[in-house]
Amino acid sequence: MAANVDAWVPYFQNLTAVAAALLAIAFLTFQFRSDIWRTHPLKQTVAITTLGELAAPMFLGILFLMPGHPWVLGGRLVGVGGYLIMAWHVAVFIRYRRLADRFDKWQLCGVAITVVTFSFLLWWDSLDVKAYTAAWMIFSGFSEAWVFLVPHKPAVDAS
């Protein structure tokens, strides 16, 4: 088993570096484009959950690269953190649902996908599953940041 875990070290080194770089880019971009989310509580939630989704693989990678490769613990910590962030996202949506536009409602639907993703990290004790899930989270988080930051027209409310 140790040889199998050691074979993953280069993967997690690269994953952690890519996740950290994309997190930094997303963070800076969110700061430069704070006009999109700073004054709207639901958009603030999306910005923070997007950064959290990019930070999760970085933290998992950092924990994996620690001596002894505590990847099971890393997956559980990141998974619990993800559940807490998603619960907070839903609570904020419920509180401010009257301000929700079509984008916010789609983001709420995306919470289900993100909960499943964090479940892979929390409940599956397979290094392969955790490694591929972390790679998916980088793609998903960066895609979410892209969709969030690209200008979109507010939906006309028919009600």
Q: What is the pLDDT of residue 106?
A: 86
Euclidean distance between CA atoms 114 and 25, whole angstroms:
21
Q: Are 134 and 55 in contact (CB under 8 A)?
A: no
Nearest to 133 by CA among 69, 92, 93, 76: 76
CB atoms within 10 A of CB 11: 16
* DSSP secondary structure letters along 33-45: TGGGTTT-HHHHH
Which sequence spans correspond to the domains of the chain? 2-149
Euclidean distance between CA atoms 71 and 68, whole angstroms:
9
Q: What is the pLDDT of residue 156?
A: 58
- Confidence band of 9 (pLDDT split at 50, 70, 90): very high
pLDDT above 90 for 6: no
Residues 6+ apart with CB under 8 A from 17: none
pTM for this model (two decimals): 0.83
- Confidence band of 122 (pLDDT split at 50, 70, 90): confident
Q: What is the pLDDT of residue 154?
A: 59
- Confidence band of 1 (pLDDT split at 50, 70, 90): very low
